[in-house]
Amino acid sequence: MEAAMDLMRRVSPNHSEAALSALLSLLPTHSSPLLSQVDQPLQVMVDTESGKEFVLCEYNRDADSYRSPWSNKYYPPLEDGPLPSEDMRKLEVEANDIFAIYRDQYYEGGISSVYMWEDDNGVLVSCFLIKKDGTKPGFGRRGYLQEGSWDAVHLIEVGQEENGMAQYCLTSTVMLSLTTKDKLSGTFNLSGSIRRQMKLDLSVADGHLCNMGKMIEEMEGKLRNSLDQVYFGKTREMVCMLRPPPEVLQARMPDI
């Protein structure tokens, strides 16, 4: 299991689905922990009742069906699929409406879904998902981008309230993949994933959704900065070293 997880951390998100399928064939006894711990690029399904798209993940799946946050129904239909309690469902509906506004302001489009439930110990757990396909013109496509996707998974566990305070544990994963194509520079591909965790003790006076939103906003800012420094920064450094601009080459050439 340790070797399998080590391998998956080094696989490009573009090939993670094929790699996970191969590992499941090799290690059938470890299928449950692999499926729960390995993040895959998010998929999308259409809720035929509401006409809206929703994001698929392990947290809204039961058997081969997925629950929609819009109609609270499973697709394909599932008779005995688990559903959130009435209070959880109200909070889930409100969270989806708020998160859709956040998605439009920060991502200029894309698809988002929020799922909420209580675990066996009565702990509130929520999953915030965003999928942005940069190849669609309506989703803010720019420049030489040929293919591109941003998949963000934010899982939040809320501890028991004590003296008006609660501990929030946020685990965030971002999977980025992009391909550019230009006549001068040719085809360029960059992909990778990053995961971070944050724990905070916050007052519940403003409500759980307010606290969750602030944590997600702060975490996404940190993740974007990390991606810019690690992936784009190192890539620029290597490209400029291997293929420096003409003015840099001219400055380096010795006088004859």
* pLDDT tens by residue, 127-154: 999 999 877 665 555 666 777 889 999 9
Burial classification of residue 74, based on how many CB atoms lie within 10 Å of its CB (0-12 exposed, 13-18 middle, 19 or more buried): buried
Q: Region of 186 please: left (phi>0), alpha (psi -120 to 50) or beta.
A: left
What is the predicted pLDDT for the residue at 6?
Answer: 87
pLDDT for res 139: 57
Contact in structure between 157 and 124 (CB atoms under 8 Å): yes
End-to-end CA distance of the chain: 61
pLDDT in tens, 86-126: 999 999 999 999 999 999 998 888 999 999 998 888 889 99
Judge if pTM exceeds 0.75: yes
d(CA 144, CA 127): 33
Mean pLDDT of the chain: 86
Can you give the pLDDT at residue 249?
Answer: 57
pLDDT tens string 178-212 = 888 777 767 878 788 888 999 999 999 989 999 99
